[in-house]
Amino acid sequence: MNGPDSDAGLQTLLADIDAARSHGLAAIAAASSIEDLAHTESGLFGRKSALGQIKQGFGSLPVEMRATAGRALNEAQQELRTAHAAAADDLAAAARRTQLQREWLDLTETPPGPRRGHLHLVTQTTERLEDVFVGMGFTVSEGPQAETDWYNFEALNLPAAHPARSMWDTLYLDLGERTELGDGEGGEASNVVLRTHTSPVQIRVMEVQPPPIYTICPGRVFRRDTADASHMPVFHQLEGLVVDRGISFADLAGTLEEFTSAYFGRSISSRLRPSYFPFTEPSAEFDINCVICEGAGCQTCQRTGWIELGGCGMVHPNVLTNCGIDFEEWTGFAFGFGIDRLALMRHGIDDLRDMYTNDIRFLNQF
Ligand code: PHE
């Protein structure tokens, strides 16, 4: 059956296939969204599509035409599938780009107009703590950050070479030719340290003020520590000192409990654990309920329900004597803790270094 008739028939069929192919490619190119593209699918690939219908007519074709027409039809179908898949990819990528554009937020954006600053979190915390203690009848005392060995250690019952000095990794100041501190207290160059705690302020207060004494000493302290999530070489402490007649350990426990609930809220309380400090006897460390789990036990408190806050104890008689106070007549207690750590706990911050990198996005939260 290889006549002019069948040749003409094949040519028409091939032309139809080609038309369906071009038509399909145009429909794919015209789709401007994934939804549009989905609508073209039945027209391209289904039984009712142009190519599908041509294929259905194949049954009545002479065998020798069927092979040629079949190949052309398969190629056309393959071409449409490839074009369709490529268009689907392109449209999906474009949709994603549009969505990202729409959802884009510039977190470093600064609002127009002058920006108002505010106090640093450590300063805010210090002021809050001062308020709490002033409310309990305490005064606020300050002292120098560079201290002689006498104030930082010796007067606190820590003579030279006392093994407990290793409790504080100390930074010594090289004063060169100068051997005197501004306030007249002599100090050899190697004798002057950056204070490792605020306890020397206790000594300074007791030297000049006769009891009764109710004071707190907030301030910056220094230790030879490498910065990590819970240590900084410079941080802040708040020390409390009470000297009066008849002061007992119960007064210490009560004061700490009162401060804890005033600062953290009534759901948080404190406890004392025996410990050692050269300047207090007996000494204790004080813990508070973990502020994350409120004592139930969680990762932050290593499932104990408690977090260590600071040290405390009854002022050692040697310390009172060093300051000219009669320990037969007066007794007292002292306590000290880290202000930065306290702020960390209260606000659920997990890295101390964040406090000092001064990223405005962090600071603005407080
Ligand atoms: N000064 C101590 C420290 O820095 C804390 C402390 C203060 C302990 C007062 C007892 C009494 O570790």
- Ligand 1 atom, smallest distance to 167 CA: 12
Least confident of 4-8, 46-50, 131-135: 4-8
Q: Is residue 57 predicted with pLDDT exceeding 60?
A: yes
% of the chain with per-residue pLDDT over 90 = 58
For the beta carbon of residue 9, count every other beta carbon within 10 angstroms: 15
pLDDT confidence of residue 177: 61
**Sequence spans of domains, the chain:** 4-103, 122-143+198-363
- 58 touches 70 (CB < 8 A): yes
Ligand 1 probe mutation, 158, 279, 283, 318, most atoms within 8 A of CB: 279
pLDDT confidence of residue 1: 45
Q: Is residue 222 predicted with pLDDT exceeding 90?
A: yes
Residue of 116, 129, 198, 118 lying closest to 343 (CA atoms): 129
- 212 touches 232 (CB < 8 A): no
Contacts of 156 (CB under 8 A, 6+ apart): 199, 200, 202, 203, 278, 279, 319
Residue of 43, 37, 1, 40 lying closest to 20 (CA atoms): 43
Q: Is residue 105 predicted with pLDDT exceeding 90?
A: no
Ligand 1 probe mutation, 167, 194, 197, 216, most atoms within 8 A of CB: 197
Length of the chain, please? 366
Better pLDDT: 3 or 170: 170
Integer-rounded Cα Rg, in Å, for the chain is 41
Distance 197 CA to ligand 1 centre (A): 7
Distance 199 CA to ligand 1 centre (A): 7
Separation of alpha carbons 227 and 208, rounded Å:
36
Distance 14 CA to ligand 1 centre (A): 96
Separation of alpha carbons 145 and 236, rounded Å:
11
Ligand 1 pocket (Cβ < 6 Å) reads 197, 199, 239, 277, 280, 310-313, 334-336
% of the chain with per-residue pLDDT over 70 = 94
Q: Which CATH number fits domain 122-143+198-363: 3.30.930.10, 3.90.79.10, 3.90.180.10, 3.10.20.30?
A: 3.30.930.10
Q: Any bridge partners for residue 220, and if so which?
A: 236
Closest Cα to atom 12, ligand 1: which residue? 311
pLDDT confidence of residue 181: 53
Better pLDDT: 117 or 333: 333
Closest Cα to atom 7, ligand 1: which residue? 336
Q: Is the peptide bond before 233 cis (omega within 30 degrees of 0)?
A: no
Separation of alpha carbons 203 and 323, rounded Å:
7
Average pLDDT over residues 141-166: 91
Q: What is the pLDDT of residues 241-300, one digit of tens each?
A: 999 999 999 999 999 999 999 998 888 889 999 999 999 999 999 999 988 888 888 887
Res. 332 pLDDT band, cuts 50 70 90: very high
Distance 143 CA to ligand 1 centre (A): 16
- 279 touches 156 (CB < 8 A): yes
Separation of alpha carbons 74 and 82, rounded Å:
12
- Ligand 1 atom, smallest distance to 335 CA: 9
Mean pLDDT of the chain: 89
Q: Residue 268 corresponds to which tokens in the numbers above? A: 């948080």
pLDDT confidence of residue 349: 87
Contacts of 255 (CB under 8 A, 6+ apart): 136, 240, 242, 333, 335
Better pLDDT: 267 or 189: 267
Distance 232 CA to ligand 1 centre (A): 17
Q: Is residue 133 predicted with pLDDT exceeding 70?
A: yes
pLDDT confidence of residue 179: 54
H-assigned helices in the chain: 4-30, 34-45, 50-56, 63-103, 121-135, 149-152, 199-208, 249-264, 317-322, 339-347, 360-363
Q: Is residue 183 predicted with pLDDT exceeding 60?
A: no
Would you give the distance in Å from CA 57 to the centre of its chain?
71
Ligand 1 probe mutation, 277, 314, 341, most atoms within 8 A of CB: 277
- 143 touches 219 (CB < 8 A): yes
Distance 137 CA to ligand 1 centre (A): 21
pLDDT confidence of residue 176: 67
Q: Is residue 310 predicted with pLDDT exceeding 80?
A: yes
Closest Cα to atom 8, ligand 1: which residue? 311
Q: Any bridge partners for residue 338, and if so which?
A: 237
- Ligand 1 atom, smallest distance to 311 CA: 8
